[in-house]
Amino acid sequence: MKLILLGPPGAGKGTQAKMLTERFGIPQIATGDILRGAVQAGTALGLQAKSFMDAGALVPDEVVIGIVRERLQQQDCVAGFILDGFPRTVAQADALQVSLESLGRRLDRVISLTVDADELVERLTGRRTCRSCGRGYHVTFDPPRSAQQCDACGGDLYQRDDDREETIRKRLTVYDQQTSPLIAYYRAAGSLTELDGMQPIPVVQEQVLVALQAG
Ligand code: AP5
Ligand code: MG
Ligand code: ZN
């Protein structure tokens, strides 16, 4: 299964991707997670990406396109993959198309999650993430059993640097301007399913699974 999860910051892309990864045993390729890992590790990529991420802006296309192109060639992607947070611009979508064609592969489905702006802000300000396994929580909507520890692996929970209200608003504007055109792009390609991401997490998951069967 080769899938893109599309949607604004806080729509639930990571939450749904983690559940699909467990269910199907295919990797989640989250460019945001890869970039945060690089920042944490202090690599050249991390140094380059940090100022963009802190400002809520997109990291330049050529940087993320290169990351994904290499990632898709790895052995664990043979059975399929879930792209989470990529592509985010038309240039990235075009480049993905070229990469997949060169590997002789095609996307099965693009799932777009729709959520109101006020709800997105509430979700992101309450989000907590596990430093070890990357699982996401929400202090109200999906609370961990203990405030500081991951239920799944016992790792420390942290709040992302870009989950401050001012940066969140900037990320939402960037989504509207640079990423939302991909909805029409994939609709025209006939591979888009739009889902109501305002529903509870398990309900969204169920509808994602139905969309994948239909695709
Ligand atoms: P990235 O890490 O991709 O962040 P994002 O797109 O802003 O999306 P989020 O991870 O914030 O949201 P999500 O949809 O995964 O929501 P989640 O499931 O966690 O990117 C970060 C930065 O990296 C970018 O700003 C950019 O600088 C750079 N970058 C990354 N990719 C790039 C690219 N391709 N090109 C250029 N730059 C790039 O859920 C959010 C919260 O809501 C959680 O607390 C969760 O528990 C809760 N929740 C989830 N679903 C529900 C539900 N149905 N009901 C109630 N609560 C829910
Ligand atoms: Mg995410
Ligand atoms: Zn964990």
Question: Measured in whole angstroms, how far is the alpha carbon of residue 106 from the centre of its chain?
Answer: 19
Cβ pair 159, 128 in contact under 8 A:
yes
Preceding omega of 87 cis (within 30 degrees of 0): yes
The confidence score (pLDDT) of residue 214 equals 72
Reply yes or no on whether the pLDDT at 29 is more than 90. Answer: yes
Q: Which two tokens stand for residue 204?
A: 């969204």
Token pair belonging to 93: 């979508």
Q: Is 18 a catalytic residue?
A: no
Domains plus CATH for the chain? 2-26+79-214 (3.40.50.300)
Q: Which atom of ligand 1 is nearest to the CA of 163?
A: 11
Q: Which of 16, 55, 48 is nearest to 34 (CA)?
A: 48
115 ligand 1 Cβ < 6 A: no
CA atoms of 138 and 35, how far apart (whole Å):
22
User: Tens digit of pLDDT for each residue in 135-163?
Assistant: 999 999 999 999 999 999 999 999 999 99
The alpha carbon of 142 and the centre of ligand 3 are apart by a number of angstroms equal to 14
106 catalytic? Reply is no
**SS3 at position 116:** coil
How long a stretch of residues is the chain? Answer: 215
Question: What is the separation of C-alpha 24 from the centre of its chain, rounded to a whole number of angstroms?
Answer: 17
Name the average pLDDT for the chain: 96
Report percent pLDDT > 90 for the chain: 97
The pLDDT confidence band at residue 188, using thresholds 50, 70 and 90, is very high
Whether 54 and 168 have beta carbons less than 8 Å apart is answered as no
Burial of 40 (0-12, 13-18, 19+ CB in 10 A): exposed
From 84, 125, 127, 166, give the residue whose CB has the most ligand 1 atoms within 8 Å, as the site to mutate: 127
Using one digit for the tens of pLDDT, what is the confidence trace for 69-109? 999 999 999 999 999 999 999 999 999 999 999 999 999 99
pTM: 0.95
For ligand 1, whether the C-beta of 138 sits within 6 Å is: yes
Q: Whole-angstrom Cα distance, residue 210 to residue 161? A: 35
The Cα–Cα gap between 215 and 52 comes to 35
In short, whether 8's Cβ falls inside 6 Å of ligand 1 is no
Ligand 1: which of 19, 59, 164, 196 to mutate, judged by most atoms within 8 Å of the beta carbon? Answer: 59
Whether ligand 1 lies within 6 angstroms of the CB of 204 is answered as yes
Higher pLDDT, 204 or 215: 204
pLDDT at 9 over 80: yes
pLDDT of 215 strictly over 80: no
pLDDT at 111 over 70: yes
Average pLDDT over residues 101-118: 96
